Amino acid sequence: MSSLPADIHRIPADRLGALVAAMPKAELHIHIEGSLEPELIFQLAQRNRVALPYPSVEALRAAYAFTDLQSFLDIYYAGASVLLHEQDFEDMAWAYLQKAAADNVLHAEIFFDPQTHTARGVPFKTVIDGLSRAVDRAQSELGVSASLILCFLRHLSEEEAFATLEEALPFQDRFIGVGLDSSERGHPPEKFARVFARCRDLGLRLVAHAGEEGPPAYIWNALDVLKVERIDHGVRCVEDPTLVQRLAREGIALTVCPLSNIKLCVFPQMQQHNLAQLLDAGLKATVNSDDPAYFGGYMNQNFAETFASLPLDAAAAYTLARNSFEASFAERSQKVKWVDRLDESFARFAA
């Protein structure tokens, strides 16, 4: 695969904003329930006759002032309560995939939280059928490839994760892997050692949120106990230089979510975000939107705000986009085609 394009230095600095918007990219960290915009929440609430504790779209949006991960999760789970039918899941995922296409996302690996829905009596089949329909439409109508990753909620027990896996197995051809999300502090990766071992035996790809709010030890254990292939967030790795060396040496990707980190107060302001530091340390960082409806923007907004605030240049843009393709779970031959499109995009800006 290609390294930096030879003529990258010819890209004018004032074209950087346009470049990061136009360049092809992959999104590897998006919770589909976090793409549910307030307007769609209200529409679905009306359609499904679900009562919401907010009088209007504006009042709901005004409640999006978070102090930490848990303060966000409380609202995020309440928002998801309007999702009941297959059509609701399709509408939600289709809305996201159209936005992804507009941001030049060629490939998305999409998290979903089945336990948030099955706990309310929505069958797993309803969730996966709706999401799969949107995924299929994205390929045929938008030329965007998408895959699904089932996330276990870490505030629930491992036994409940096993029960969810059992429900999911008849649909194993519809999702490529499993992840671990929800409240990080107090719920270390090792709590899910046995269910991840089983998923590994089943041939599923493995990822986990670690080092968002939790300490570097959670990243070590996600790697060594759960044997994950990517770390979601991982920004707190910088507190442990030995861990940084290991992540760099093994080329383990971090799916970093800059706007999320600001909204959840992981960093006080974008100027203090450590994305540039992660790249300088040789880490395979990527940029992602996490929960774009709640955190102020989709992929290109994340790129725009990080590039406006941090010492990142065209080489960093190329590296981030290339990392996103290389760290994806797509076939190698497909990755080569995407990187070729990335090179073409940079060549156009250097011309």
- Residues within the interface to ligand ADE (CB under 6 A): 31, 34, 69, 76, 181-182, 209, 212, 260, 290-291
Cβ nearer to ligand ADE, comparing 151 with 244: 151
Instruction: Supply the minimum distance, in Å, between the C-beta of residue 74 and ligand ADE.
Output: 11
Amino acid identity of residue 194, one-letter, is R
Instruction: Supply the minimum distance, in Å, between the C-beta of residue 20 and ligand ADE.
Output: 22
Please name the helix (run of DSSP H) or strand (run of DSSP E) that holds residue 246, with its range, or none: helix 241-250
Are residues 88 and 49 in contact, defined by beta-carbon separation less than 8 angstroms? no
**Angle at 160 (CA atoms; ends 156, 166), nearest 5 degrees:** 145
Residue 86 binding partner per list ligand ADE, Zn ion, none, with a CB distance cut-off of 5 to 8 Å that depends on partner kind:
none
Which residues form the interface with Zn ion (CB under 5 A)? 290
By beta carbon distance, the residue nearest ligand ADE is: 181
Instruction: Supply the minimum distance, in Å, between the C-beta of residue 206 and Zn ion.
Output: 15
28 backbone dihedrals φ, ψ, rounded to 5°: -115, 0
Cβ nearer to ligand ADE, comparing 69 with 165: 69
Please enumerate in sequence order all residues whose Cβ is within 8 A of that of 159, keeping only pairs 6 or more positions apart, or say none. none
Cβ nearer to ligand ADE, comparing 290 with 326: 290
Cβ nearer to Zn ion, comparing 11 with 235: 235
State whether residue 178 is helix, strand or coil. strand
- Which tokens in the block code for residue 123? 């069958």
Active-site annotation holds for 239: no
* CA gap 55, 60 in Å, rounded: 8
Residue 182 binding partner per list Zn ion, ligand ADE, none, with a CB distance cut-off of 5 to 8 Å that depends on partner kind:
ligand ADE
Q: Determine which one of 90, 212, 213, 326 is catalytic.
A: 212
Cβ nearer to Zn ion, comparing 186 with 203: 186
Instruction: Supply the minimum distance, in Å, between the C-beta of residue 293 and Zn ion.
Output: 13
Sign of CA dihedral 134, 140, 146, 147: positive
* CA gap 111, 147 in Å, rounded: 9
Read off the DSSP letter of residue 189: G
Instruction: Supply the minimum distance, in Å, between the C-beta of residue 18 and ligand ADE.
Output: 29
- Which tokens in the block code for residue 256? 């970093």
Residue 212 binding partner per list ligand ADE, Zn ion, none, with a CB distance cut-off of 5 to 8 Å that depends on partner kind:
ligand ADE
Q: Which residues are catalytic?
A: 212
